[in-house]
Amino acid sequence: MQLATIDLIVISAYALMIIGLAQWVSREKAGHEKDTKDYFLAGKALPWWAIGASLIAANISAEQIIGMSGSGFAIGLGIASYEWMAAITLILVGKYFLPIFLKQGIYTMPQYLEQRYDHSVRMVMAVFWLGLYIFVNLTAILWLGALAMNTIAGIDMFYGIVILGVLATAYSLYGGLKAVALTDIIQVILLVLGGMIVTWLALDQISDGAGALAGFIELSAQAPDKFDMILSPDNPHYVSLPGISVLVGGMWIMNISYWGCNQYIIQRALAAKSVKEAQKGIILAAGLKLLMPIFVVLPGIAAVILTPQITSPDQAYPEMMKLVPTGVKGLVFAALIAAILSSLGSMMNSISTIFTMDIYRHFKPSTQDAKLVKIGRIVALTAIIIAMITARPLLGQFDQAFQYIQEFTGFFTPGIVVLFMLGLFWKHTTARAALAAALGSFIFSGAFWMWWPALPFMDRVGIVFLACAAIAIIISLMSKQVDHVQVVDIDEIDFSTSTSFNTATAATILVLVAFYATWW
């Protein structure tokens, strides 16, 4: 698919606009110099709408749009469980996790781990996350984003990586989290608008011009097997979505790790004006997650009817983009670029925050804030350069890089969730138990992967979580208890939420019950 001149003009205008807007929102008052709170936590002043939009913008990238549309083509609506279950997880994080994190006034997740356990846990996890974010996540966003650009517009992979790296640096490096979060509202609007256009045109095509609603009804009638939310064991894709485990098994562990323990995601909530403001942002993000399958899954299902001849599921979204008229196609392509840039900017900022605040400041505690901000910018720039150089060697040999990345991170996810959940809600958990859970997660996951390969990935995550939790509890009970003066006593935390939060929670649950009851 080639882009016309008008499409290229639209894309270029978007790129210039987002860079200019990022510089404008990052400006400081005369005489004020950015400190660490400004750069890493946006001055602790993010409004709820910026938090909600930024959570979604950081979460959604081009490879996820194309990958989930491909899964919609292959599996069907069942893949939407990743989005819909995340809505409930977000609400749980907002109610139970954020009040504790914000009470501690932390910059990073490793910082909380030191307050709760000890310095060794902080440093081990800080180094682990830096390696994961640079060599797995950042390279993946770059490589798969460039792959999406290559698939849709024929842009050479090398140039795609360079373009994405340069644009992400230009818009996020100077302003830090503030530049990323305050521009993410534009990114999300563009992302939703572009996705809605593709979905509308695809469904309208199915109905022969009778509209999207008529197209959805026709699609449901022509491809009923693609609207099963809970897959049966005889389904060829059961290993990817193992039936009822989607609702009660390992998906909860994956979601809690991603939305509640992940610096890359939680950092914008840590930058909230208050707990109530963060919770309002969480509710906005949860609402957007309910809508997400409309434009990341339905286009793939529509492709089953419109382009059944495609040889690879990941061709589904690019094929549906061919329905978009010239000019508007540039807007939709810009939406994909927006998704990639937001994820890159968020990841760069998280890497710089962890290195600067958890590692550099530990070894040089007297460093002035101005120098720490400078170090943060240098680290962010270094990280994106390393990722640009290593993306092809690390991921170029994989046919399904996204699946390999999910498999790799799943080795560590159960232990991380045990480490945080017990640390947050059981005061007897010890540092030794926390490290044992983290190490056990890798050992157990590796053992299951080698000797029980038929076990669905999601079920493996759930079983390893239970095993790691058991080990951590046993070690803690056998260890001498140590008091940590900085640990928040959860009896002193106000977990109450506003009427609007509770109403939105009830509405979210009712919507999900209706979805699963309709397409069970």
1 — pLDDT class (breaks 50, 70, 90): low
272: helix, strand or coil = strand
pLDDT given at position 172:
87
Q: What is the CATH number of domain 5-25+43-398?
A: 1.20.1730.10
pLDDT given at position 32:
65
pLDDT given at position 284:
94
Cα Rg of the chain (Å, integer): 22
112: helix, strand or coil = helix
Mean pLDDT (whole number) for 424-441: 91
Residue 398 has pLDDT above 80, yes or no: no
DSSP letter for 211, please: -
Which stretches within 207-235 are classed as H helix?
212-222
Tell me if 250 sits within 8 A of 465, measured CB to CB: yes
481 — pLDDT class (breaks 50, 70, 90): low
Residue 202 has pLDDT above 90, yes or no: yes
pLDDT given at position 427:
84
pLDDT given at position 495:
87
Tokens linked to 170: 């230009």
pLDDT given at position 124:
92
181 — pLDDT class (breaks 50, 70, 90): confident
Mean pLDDT (whole number) for 102-122: 91
Burial category of 441 from C-beta neighbours within 10 Å (exposed 0-12, middle 13-18, buried 19 and up): buried
Q: Tell me the β-bridge partners of 272.
A: 46
pLDDT given at position 460:
93
Residues 6+ apart with CB under 8 A from 508: 87, 88, 91, 286, 287, 290
pLDDT given at position 277:
94
> In the predicted model, what is the mean pLDDT of the chain?
88
Mean pLDDT (whole number) for 115-136: 91
Candidate ranges 68-72, 160-164, 480-484; pick with highest mean pLDDT:
160-164
46: helix, strand or coil = strand
Cα–Cα dist 269/101, whole Å: 9
Cα–Cα dist 382/30, whole Å: 29
Tell me if 281 sits within 8 A of 52, measured CB to CB: yes
Tokens linked to 482: 């140590």
Residue 400 has pLDDT above 60, yes or no: no
pLDDT given at position 187:
85
Q: Of 45-59, 360-374, 401-415, 497-511, where does mean pLDDT reach its minimum?
A: 401-415
261 — pLDDT class (breaks 50, 70, 90): very high
49 — pLDDT class (breaks 50, 70, 90): very high
Which stretches within 315-363 are classed as H helix?
316-321, 328-354, 361-363
Residue 381 has pLDDT above 90, yes or no: yes
3 — pLDDT class (breaks 50, 70, 90): confident
Candidate ranges 169-178, 355-364, 403-412; pick with highest mean pLDDT:
355-364
pLDDT given at position 493:
84
437 — pLDDT class (breaks 50, 70, 90): very high
pLDDT given at position 484:
57
Tell me how far CA of residue 430 lies from CA of 130, 225, 477, 513, in angstroms.
24, 49, 9, 39
403 — pLDDT class (breaks 50, 70, 90): low
Mean pLDDT (whole number) for 418-428: 90
Between residues 293 and 487, the one the model is more confident about? 293
End-to-end CA distance of the chain: 37
Cα–Cα dist 88/327, whole Å: 38
Cα–Cα dist 57/67, whole Å: 16
Task: Please write the tens of the pLDDT for every residue from 229-245.
Answer: 888 888 888 888 888 88
Residue 347 has pLDDT above 70, yes or no: yes
pLDDT given at position 250:
87
Burial category of 445 from C-beta neighbours within 10 Å (exposed 0-12, middle 13-18, buried 19 and up): buried
Smallest CA-to-CA distance from 459 within 249, 254, 237 is with 249
Residue 488 has pLDDT above 80, yes or no: no
pLDDT given at position 31:
63
Task: Note the pTM of the prediction, 2 decimals.
Answer: 0.91
Q: At what angle do helices 48-59 and 275-296 cross, to 10 degrees?
A: 40
pLDDT given at position 380:
95
pLDDT given at position 491:
75
Cα–Cα dist 429/423, whole Å: 6
175 — pLDDT class (breaks 50, 70, 90): confident
- Each domain of the chain, given as residue ranges in start order, spans 5-25+43-398
401 — pLDDT class (breaks 50, 70, 90): low
pLDDT given at position 146:
87
pLDDT given at position 335:
85
Cα–Cα dist 432/434, whole Å: 5
Tell me if 117 sits within 8 A of 472, measured CB to CB: no
Q: Phi, psi at residue 46, to the nearest 5°?
A: -70, 130
Task: Please write the tens of the pLDDT for every residue from 316-337.
Answer: 888 888 888 888 888 888 888 8
Q: Tell me the β-bridge partners of 46.
A: 272
Tokens linked to 327: 């000019």
Mean pLDDT (whole number) for 385-407: 75
Residue 69 has pLDDT above 70, yes or no: yes
295, 301, 303, 308: CA torsion to nearest 10: 170
